């Protein structure tokens, strides 16, 4: 009997499977089952299958359908006809009125009181202007005077009398006037003791004076022969100094040549 290829292949496969199972059972021991951790399962019956035919028998008899209420159909209201707006009639154009120029109103003449006030105001403004001009003129005049005085002083300052010059005329008069003031100051400080008063004694003292009035030097140029008398004369010069400032043009003359005071004259 000849087997087909498929049958032969099937027999070989089954034989191989049986041999593998025998080897596995013989040589490989399987672990025992631990029943201590088994889970208890209660068997519950399944619910009966749903039978729609049986359910229809159990339902109560059909309820008779009530007739549905008849709803009256609302009649459609007639639509109102659209109103036609009446177009306004065009207004007649107003006739253009000719331009009437307003006549200028006559200006009322100003009252006399207003005119007087304006005239007074103008006079006041004119007086103020004159005062300002007068003040300006005075200022100019004062400036001119000061300028002239400064120029004169400059000229006088430049004219200095040199030492040794013989004074004449106005210079002599001005020098004598200044010297007379100094002599009066010195004699006011000259006081002799009782026992020297009335004695025929004469002394001359030369005094050199700086420009600011300080005495730079003093000495006896003519002695009385009595030292005590001469000392009282020198003391009088010391007490009277410093003197008034020397006029500028005599500054060098009084500082170099000096002034001679006579005692008693």
CATH of the domain at 214: 3.30.1150.10
Residue 205: what are its φ and ψ, rounded to 5°? -120, 130
Whether the per-residue pLDDT at 60 is higher than 50: the answer is: no
148 and 202 housed in the same domain: no
Q: What is the pLDDT of residue 177?
A: 92
146 and 208 housed in the same domain: no
177 and 235 housed in the same domain: yes
125 and 144 housed in the same domain: yes
Q: From CA 235, how far away is CA 186, in angstroms rounded?
A: 9
Q: What is the pLDDT of residue 240?
A: 94
Q: What is the pLDDT of residue 151?
A: 54
Q: What is the pLDDT of residue 111?
A: 65
218 and 186 housed in the same domain: yes
254 and 177 housed in the same domain: yes
- Does 149 map to a domain? yes
Q: From CA 171, how far away is CA 161, in angstroms rounded?
A: 9
Least confident of 12-16, 42-46, 195-199, 239-243: 42-46
183 and 221 housed in the same domain: yes
- Does 210 map to a domain? yes
- Does 94 map to a domain? no
- Does 91 map to a domain? no
- Does 259 map to a domain? yes
Average pLDDT over residues 227-253: 93
Q: Is 92 left (phi over 0), alpha (psi -120 to 50) or beta?
A: beta
Half-sphere exposure of 57 (CA within 13 A, CB side): 3
191 and 220 housed in the same domain: yes
Whether the per-residue pLDDT at 169 is higher than 90: the answer is: no
Q: From CA 261, how far away is CA 246, in angstroms rounded?
A: 16
- Does 90 map to a domain? no
- Greatest mean pLDDT range, 66-80, 108-122, 159-173, 208-222: 208-222
Terminal alpha carbon distance of the chain:
205
Q: In what order do the strands lie in the sheet with 215-222?
A: 215-222, 203-209, 259-263
- Does 122 map to a domain? yes
Per residue, the 3-state secondary structure of the chain, as one string, reads CCCCHHHHHHHHHHHHHHHHHHHHHHHCCCCCCCHHHCCCCCCCCCCCCCCHHHHHHHCCCCCCCCCCCCCCCCCCCCCCCCCCCCCCCCCCCCCCCCCCCCCCCCCCCCCHHHHHHHHHHHHHHHHHHHHHHHHHHHHHHHHHHHHHHHHHHHHHHHCCCCCCCCCCHHHHHHHHHHHHHHHHHHHHCCCCCCCCCCCCCCEEEEEEECCCCCEEEEEEEECCCCHHHHHHHHHHHHHHCCCCCCCHHHHHHHHHCCEEEEECC
Q: What percent of the chain has pLDDT over 90?
A: 28
216 and 245 housed in the same domain: yes
Average pLDDT over residues 137-141: 82
Domain-ending residue, one of 158, 186, 213: 158
175 and 253 housed in the same domain: yes
Domain containing 183 equals 169-263
Q: Domain count of the chain? A: 2
Q: Which two tokens stand for residue 209?
A: 């004076």
152 and 182 housed in the same domain: no
Work out whether the CA dihedral 187, 192, 198, 203 comes out positive or negative.
negative
78 versus 257: which is more confidently predicted? 257
Q: What is the pLDDT of residue 158?
A: 42
193 and 142 housed in the same domain: no
- Does 69 map to a domain? no
Whether the per-residue pLDDT at 76 is higher than 80: the answer is: no
Domain-ending residue, one of 101, 134, 158: 158
Average pLDDT over residues 197-217: 93
254 versus 97: which is more confidently predicted? 254
Q: What is the pLDDT of residue 157?
A: 45
Q: What percent of the chain has pLDDT over 70?
A: 59
């Amino acid at each position: 009997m000849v087997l087909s290829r498929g049958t032969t292949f099937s027999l070989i496969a089954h034989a191989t499977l049986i041999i593998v199972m025998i080897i596995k059972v013989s040589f490989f021991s399987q672990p025992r089952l631990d029943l201590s951790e088994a889970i208890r399962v209660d068997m519950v019956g399944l619910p009966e299958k749903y039978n729609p035919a049986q359910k229809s028998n159990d339902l109560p008899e059909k309820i008779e359908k009530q007739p549905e209420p008849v709803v009256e159909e609302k009649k459609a209201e007639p639509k109102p006809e659209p109103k036609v707006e009446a177009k306004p009639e065009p207004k007649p154009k107003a006739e253009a009125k000719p331009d009437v120029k307003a006549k200028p109103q006559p200006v009322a003449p100003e009252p006399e009181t207003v005119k007087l006030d304006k005239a007074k105001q103008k006079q006041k403004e004119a007086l103020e202007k004159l005062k300002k001009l007068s003040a300006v003129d005075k200022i100019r005049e004062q400036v001119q005077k000061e300028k002239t005085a400064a120029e004169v002083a400059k000229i006088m300052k430049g004219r200095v009398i040199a030492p040794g010059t013989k004074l004449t005329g106005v210079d002599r008069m001005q020098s004598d006037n200044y010297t007379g003031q100094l002599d009066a100051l010195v004699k006011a400080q000259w006081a002799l003791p009782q026992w020297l008063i009335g004695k025929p004694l004469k002394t001359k003292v030369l005094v050199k004076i700086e420009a600011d009035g300080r005495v730079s030097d003093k000495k006896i140029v003519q002695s009385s022969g009595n030292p005590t008398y001469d000392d009282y004369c020198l003391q009088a010069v010391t007490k009277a100094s410093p003197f008034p400032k020397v006029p500028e043009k005599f500054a060098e003359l009084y500082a170099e040549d000096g002034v001679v005071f006579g005692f008693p004259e």
